[in-house]
Structure 1
Amino acid sequence: MLNIIKAGIITAFLATGTVVIPSAIPDEGMFPLSELGKAGLKKAGLKISEKDIYNPGQIGLVDALVQVSGCSGSFVSPNGLIITNHHCAFSAVQLASTPEHNYLENGFVANSHEQEIEAKGLNIRITDSYEDVSQEVLAAVAHVSDPTERIDIINNKRKEIAKEAEGQDPTIKAEVSEMFIGKSYVLFRYKTIEDVRLVYVPRQDIGEFGGETDNWVWPRHTGDFSFLRAYVAPDGSSAKFAKENVPYKPKKHLKVNPKGVNENDFVFILGYPGRTFRHRPAQYISYQEKYLLPYTSELYDFQNQQMEIAGKDDKATELALATRIKRNANVMKNYRGKLKGLRNIDLVNTKIKEDQDLEKFIQSDAALKAQYGNLMNDIDQHYQTVFNNAEKELWYNNIYSGIRSLQLASLTNSFQDALNKELSSKRKADLFAANIEGFKKQMASLYESYNLQVDKNISATMFNQAYQLKGDNRLPFVSNYQFKSEQEASNFITKAIESSKLSNYTDFESNVLKDVNSFLKYQDDLMIFQKGLEKEMTPFDQEQKRREGNLNKLMADYIAVKEKFQSKSFIPDANSTLRLTYGNIKGYSPADATYMEPFTTVRGLIEKGNSGLSEFTYPESIKQNWLDKNFGNYFKKELNDVPVNILYNMDTTGGNSGSPIMNAYGELIGVNFDRAYDATINDYAWNESYSRSIGVDIRYVLWIADKIDNAQFIINEMGIKR
């Protein structure tokens, strides 16, 4: 609620949004493709031409890259075969699974195109082109001072530019991405593929070996990979899942190198990193440390406990809630890693010192003082306002995502409101008939991961929290309902959920959705409360928009003056647009007297299995093949074993999951899937000493496919000689 690339179209980043990278090899960086010539790739070890990666008007490695929903992936055959992570396909595998056909637990192998099944909820985006539109966006607010008006105009201008681009080429989807807040904007054009299918997914005790115990941890032994295929209509256009669709023919696919890599080898990644926040002031980091990270991690921990209890003795419920649990657990551990990292390196105080030095720089120069003299004080005032009701903001931000019943009530109220705008009964009935199937489809998607007891338990706890909020954080509905205790607030919402027909879809569909009159007459306490809550949140939403507009201008000035202070331009924070990062296969020392090697092996996997912990169970065929030394061509002599996972010092973050790891010749040698625990802080700061990312070695992928899952067709399709 609160909340590249083609010839002739590429435009250099203009003065308003210049992204100039120093010629020296950087110590961090998620490089926009327009800046590859300044990234120092050849000096670092790249053996191919930079133009082999990206060259306007020509086909390059970037044409093999895809965005798989919130992850990255790459084409590895001329027939639309894509490799990405197991956890990136997890939700689609879960949706395809039943207690009788549990693909999540047992894996899935399609030995022919006909056996491939729909990957529900997944879609593919391929970056087609981009151009800088900063001047056009910022010109629209050149004389606007009101923060709310400013952010509205900027957002509307971004939508207008995107819509115009789509009008010029109906085959693309367009999006204007903010590269620096309030400073630079880039129009991206994407090709979208809607028909995605599951091809090969290893079983859960391979793809998720180690579970949450090993998540964000090194050493790691996880086969976090899966294979999908992109399909299009016979004429090559994007189309929804249909039997007559055919495999997509990509412009480029990656060559797989089954020999893998060695320690210290140069490697690079192309992908779609999600969000980083390195160009923010000290107060932003303080907000993360004091409020957002601890609140969210504790809330998600509690939610998962409730969902795990619900699915303990019911396989269908366990499957239905699996994706919610996995996503929560991933965020929870990531946030706790960030908290640990922020405290270990004392980033808040480091940022405070940086901002104090910046303030001195501004005040020492008359021209800068005239333009930016109040900047640091204005930033501080902005965040003091944020801190004053941070608890209310976090409650509002999580109430809908945490409680499925409120989402169901919101959807139902919205449909009723839309119908009630019509004056005639006939018009109401016609609109109901025209939209009821779409409404049911939306509702069904929410019910897929709905459990009544889980919803009641989560809502009881969140309403208990709501009662306890005081002062500027107090929630109006607590006073309006005159709750006299935490228990009374909790009892109210649990009773409202339980008594609502929305708590049982079969009942709701048969008794409420049978005709327009029954639907419009239906009301209950849950729906009434949801509508009141939405009304209550509206002014707070408006205040959030005002703050966003204010911050938009402040951060534009902050970056501009900071670039002058440091005499350099910065690499823009990650924002889910295509980037390149590079480094080396490299271990590290996370603690005194320890050194982590950059490879793990099958032997290490088996050793973990000896612990007896359920998360370290693995297929017996792995151990038998290892004992038989049935390593095939996937053996690494120096390890006397098959390598499983690899460690490297590249700059990655969320969204890089599934990114192809390539060697100096642009060949695929692994798939990125995680970071070490100490590197979860990458979103705020990067440091070569502790920032390490983790990938699955391509030799392990091939060994599992060949020796364990009998998926040799995958190896053959990728053109690898066995």
Structure 2
Amino acid sequence: MKKIILSLIVTIMLLPMSTKADEGMWFLMFIERLNHRDMEKLGLQLTAEEIYSINHHSLKDAIVQFNGGCTAEMISKDGLVLTNHHCGYDGIAELSTPEHNLLKDGFWAANHADEKKPSSLYVRFFVRMDDCSKRILAIVNPSMSEADREKAINAEIAKIEKENNEGGKYTVSVRPFFQGNEYYYFVYQDYKDVRLVGVPPESLGKFGGDTDNWEWPRQTADFSMFRVYADKDGNPADYSTSNVPLQPKHYLPVNLGGVKEGDFAMILGYPGRTNRWMPAGGIEQNVKFAYPAWVEGAKTGMDNMKKYMEMSDALRLVYASKYASTANYWKNRQGMIDALSKFGTAQSKAVQETKFDKWANKPANKAKYGNVVSTINKYYSLTNEKSRHDNYLQQLFRTSSFGTIGRTLGKQLDTYVKADANKRKDLAPKITEMAEELYKDLYVPAEKDILAAQLKLYSTKSTGYAIAPMVKKIGDENNNDFVKYVNAAVDLSIFSSLDKVKAFLQVPSQGMLDNDPLYALSNDMLTHFASKSDEIAKAQNDYAASFRLLVEGLRESKIGTIKYPDANSTLRLTYGKVRALPADKRNPVAINNYTDLDSQVKKYKKGDEEFDLPVKVLEMNKSKNYGRYADKDGSLHVNFLTDNDITGGNSGSPVLNGKGELIGIAFDGNIEAMAGDVIFDKKLQRTINVDIRYVLWVIENFSNAKHIVDEMTLVK
């Protein structure tokens, strides 16, 4: 009997551990107060000081923001940086040519001199952060308009940034949190000499392509490797052959022991954006208006890029990066629609807001909070159709280089025309360089088709909100067929080629620029996109103030249970454990928390763009040539699951064990929990990671680049 009771007690004690994921993207400076004890219970063996310290090296010194959008980690004393394949994609594509296609074939530098420098790539180290809420909120008051409030805050932010940048040594960023109820400043140091060390062939780095994106099970080598260089004193410096590999304050040891169900897992990184505080009306607007337009616009752009990418390797390289980025968010937004609809997220939020509204209209709270919910709902009702319109237009801007020509190269030419002769001498080389960069990634026949297709979609689908006047006029005159107009406009435009732009610089003319058909069309759309009626402007002002009050009131009333601020590309920590998804026939392994090389080979389709594999991989798997990276079960683990709370921007983030050792690289989430940016699903939310042993196997065994692995500190 005692054994039965004991067994029941143990089962009950273990139950929460096996069913609860650990929600939250946490500030490092508050780990000691908010999280450290819970993390220790899960398996953390580090002190809070070893994670975040201002005066001593700590884990935070090994984590960098990669090129402003992803995360990466230092993994050697000589500045070696590890991130995702898709994070390094732009730079690798830039360094590739049809004759030497690094994306397709892979690349590993034999030595430092062989490493390759993309034109624009940087990493950002986090130095420290601090709370400046009291200082900033002391200069604003409830009677201010949102514009006046923003102006006052921006002025104070400029002072704080100047006070902390040490004469330009550091980049300082002051960011709002909890919808402007708190403010913190972050001090960073940027290094701009970052060079490609290596990347697996695309057949491994993008294995599964769009089909497997956001899906589990996954089998992909989603990683690439770079090196940070500095001057001889370790300071940031522009690219120079005299620069030396950076000696980072801290780098991550690499653990070869593998993982098992329930192991502690911690991720540090730069999550881009979550909307966990978003009101019900915002969720409904996204599901019914904004995201469907995003999905349709993205697919239109992708389809028109794809047909040219399939014509040649050269054109594939031209559009590879833009296509990959568009495809990633296309599937993400469709997944968001499906998940938010399935789980009735807007309805759940509405229930919370009804409860809040009841609290807000109590006598003690009514003056401050009484109109908050009704004001927010009024705003969304007023802007639903505009959000649909804006998303169609945004996808036109994102996929068509000519769509935004008015604010890019066109704006520069306008400045040039208006300048005097001396100023023009200074501007001409910069504009020429900008134009050369633009036309390097632009193929005119493709751009014609993309623009014409997006204009047709925009003019025919954005029916509930007035479209740009010039687009409407052209559409009305051509039965919404824009092909003929776009072809003629591009052929006549000074923006149709680099040579025409250079000729314009020789003989500038304001009249020629103003009457250019592409320039006029782009400016018409950009101006319309930025415009808003007085009614919408007022509603937007009232909404901003009310949303801030909603978040403040939810926290004050305890009706809102979230303890952390939304992600906004600032360094955060999330912790949890290795955790399988519910049993799934799609995954052939016994425990559904990892995949192995056998399962990757089973997906192999010879010649298929998404599922082809190098012959060498097939041969090595057949002979079980896994070397020292085989798991205890004899297989080579490829990807694994944890229940960490991450989002876009965490791509490339290190997955760490309780000792702060690298066990994997985060690269994706799962489609079942695609609503995760809005609401955290404790049962289904997962992070998909590359097993670090697979990374090392690809480098050492498959690519014969053991000298790269030898740089790292390996722990068994």
Task: Assess same fold via TM > 0.5.
Answer: yes
Q: Distance in 1 between matches of 2:374 and 2:534?
A: 23
Q: Secondary structure at the match of 2:480?
A: helix
Q: Secondary structure at the match of 1:55?
A: coil
More off after superposition, 534-543 vs 240-249? 534-543
Q: Distance in 2 between matches of 1:482 and 1:87?
A: 38
The answer to whether the Cα contact below 8 Å between 2:409 and 2:434 also exists between their aligned partners in 1 is: no
CA displacement at 1:169 relative to structure 2: 3.6
The residue number in structure 2 matching 1:404 is 401
Which of 261, 265, 271 is the equivalent residue of 2:263?
A: 265
The one-letter amino acid paired with 1:673 is F
Deviation track 1:275-304 (CA, whole Å, cap 9, x = no partner) reads: 000011101101110122111111111111
Cα deviation, residue 347, structure 1: 0.8
Q: 1:251 aligns with which of 220, 228, 249?
A: 249
Match of residue 498, structure 1, among 491, 496, 501: 491
2:696 is matched with 702
RMSD, matched Cα: 2.5
Paired residues of 1:467 and 1:486 also in contact (CA < 8 A) = no
1:34 aligns with 2:29: yes
Separation of aligned partners in 1, 2:287 and 2:702 = 44
The number of residues matched between the two structures is 688
2:21–2:682 CA contact under 8 A, matched in 1: no
Q: Are 2:428 and 1:439 aligned?
A: no
Q: Does residue 95 in structure 1 map to residue 94 in structure 2? A: yes
Matched residue type, 1:701: V
- 8 Å CA contact retained: 1:151, 1:549: no
- The correspondence of residues 655-670 of structure 1 with structure 2, limited to 5 A, is 655-670=649-664
| Counterpart among 280, 284, 294 of residue 286 in structure 1 | 284
Structure 1's 143 and 345: CA in aligned 2 closer, same or farther, altered over 3 A?
closer
Distance 1:696 1:488, change over 3 A: closer
CA displacement at 1:317 relative to structure 2: 0.9
Distance 2:673 2:100 in 1: 37
Q: Deviations over 1:302-332 (max 9, x none)?
A: 1111111112122111111000010011111
> Could you tell me which amino acid in structure 2 is paired with residue 430 of structure 1?
N
Cα distance in structure 1, aligned partners of 2:591 and 2:542? 45
The residue aligned with 1:584 is 577
d(CA) in 2 for partners of 1:144, 1:169: 36
Deviation of 1:419 (Å): 3.7
Q: Deviations over 1:514-548 (max 9, x none)?
A: x2546885552222333444444453399877665
Name 1:608's counterpart in structure 2: 603
Length-normalised TM-score, structure 1: 0.90
Deviates more, 1:195-204 or 1:522-531: 522-531
Amino acid corresponding to residue 708 of structure 1 in structure 2: F
Report the AA paired with residue 696 of structure 1.
V
SS of structure 2 residue aligned to 1:239: coil
Match of 2:549 among 557, 577, 595: 557
The within-5 A match list for 1:188-337 is 188-337=186-335
Pairing of 1:88-487 with structure 2 (within 5 A) = 88-142=87-141, 144-166=143-165, 168-363=166-361, 365-422=362-419, 428-468=420-460, 469-470=462-463, 472-478=465-471, 483-487=476-480
Alpha-carbon distance, 1:386 to partner: 1.6
The 3 A distance-change label for structure 1 pair 695 and 398 is same
Alignment match of 1:690 (pick from 676, 681, 684): 684
| 1:560 to partner: Cα distance | 1.3
1:498 aligned partner, one-letter code:
D
Amino acid at match of 2:603: K
Aligned to 2:616: 621
**Which segments of 5 or more consecutive residues in structure 2 lack a partner in the other structure?**
1-19
Amino acid at match of 1:715: V
Partner AA of 1:119 in structure 2: P
Comparing 309-318 with 194-203, which one deviates more in the overlay?
309-318
Letter of the aligned partner of 1:275 in structure 2?
A: R
For 1:116 and 1:44, locate their aligned partners in 2 and report how far apart those are by CA, in whole Å. Answer: 40
2:402–2:522 CA contact under 8 A, matched in 1? no
> What SS does structure 2 have at the residue aligned with 1:600?
strand
Kindly tell me: are residues 602 and 705 of structure 1, through their superposed partners in 2, closer, same or farther at Cα, counting changes over 3 Å? Answer: same
- Please report how far the alpha carbon of residue 372 of structure 1 lies from its aligned counterpart in structure 2 after TM superposition: 0.7
Residue 253 of structure 2 contacts residue 661 of structure 2 at CA under 8 Å; is this kept in 1? yes
The alpha carbon displacement at 1:140 in A equals 3.0
Offset at residue 475 of structure 1 (A)? 3.0
Partner Cα distance (1:612, 1:112) in 2: 33
| Alignment check: 8 A CA contact 2:322 2:399 kept | no
Moved more, 678-687 or 456-465: 456-465
User: SS state of the match for residue 228, structure 1?
Assistant: strand
Q: 1:52 to 1:414 in 2, by over 3 A?
A: same
Amino acid at match of 1:577: T
Task: Measure how far apart 1:241 and its partner are.
Answer: 1.8
Aligned residue for 1:80? 79
Counterpart amino acid of 2:105? N
Counterpart for residue 22 of structure 1: none
Q: Give the counterpart letter for 2:649 in structure 1.
A: G
Paired residue type of 2:438: L
1:628-675 residue CA offsets vs partner (Å, 9 max, x unmatched): 22221111123x201000111010100010000001111001111011
Moved more, 675-684 or 201-210: 675-684
Task: Specify the SS of the correspondent of 1:415.
Answer: helix
Residue 266 of structure 2 aligns to a residue whose secondary structure is: strand
Give CA deviations for 1:138-173 in whole Å, capped at 9, x if unaligned.
Answer: 23331543233333433444344324433x341111
Q: Could you tell me how far apart the structure 2 residues matched to 1:414 and 1:583 are?
A: 48
Could you tell me how far 1:178 is from its partner in structure 2?
A: 1.7
Distance 1:535 1:344, change over 3 A: closer
Identify if the C-alpha distance between structure 1 residues 412 and 617 changes in structure 2 by more than 3 Å, giving closer, same or farther. Answer: closer
Amino-acid identity (%): 31
1:542–1:582 Cα change, 3 Å: farther
Work out the CA distance in 1 between the residues paired with 2:263 and 2:372. Answer: 45
2 CA distance for matches of 1:358 and 1:143? 21
CA deviation after TM superposition for structure 1 residue 233, in Å: 2.1
Structure 2 counterpart SS, 1:294: helix
Q: Secondary structure at the match of 2:402?
A: helix
Q: 1:58 to 1:412 in 2, by over 3 A?
A: closer
Contact 2:372 2:547 in 1 (8 A): no
- Structure 2 vs 1, CA of residues 188 and 476 (structure 1 numbering), >3 Å: closer, same or farther? same
Q: Comparing 104-113 with 430-439, which one deviates more in the overlay?
A: 430-439
Q: CA deviation at 1:176?
A: 1.2
Q: Determine if the alignment matches structure 1 residue 715 to structure 2 residue 709.
A: yes
Assess, with a 3 A threshold, how the Cα gap between structure 1 residues 26 and 624 changes in structure 2: closer, same or farther. closer
1:647 alignment partner, one of 637, 641, 651? 641
Q: Which string of whole-angstrom CA distances, capped at 9 and with x for unpartnered residues, describes residues 188-216 of structure 1?
A: 11100011100011111111111111111
For 2:481 and 2:622, the matched residues in 1 are separated by 62
Measure how far apart 1:378 and its partner are: 0.9
Amino acid paired to 1:652: I
CA positional deviation for 1:262: 1.6
- The CA distance in 1 between the partners of 2:533 and 2:677, in whole Å, is 26
Q: Report the AA paired with residue 656 of structure 2.
A: M
Q: What does the per-residue CA deviation read over 1:554-580, in whole Å, with 9 as the maximum and x for residues that have no partner?
A: 122111111133265621011110000
Question: How does the TM-score come out when normalised to structure 2?
Answer: 0.91
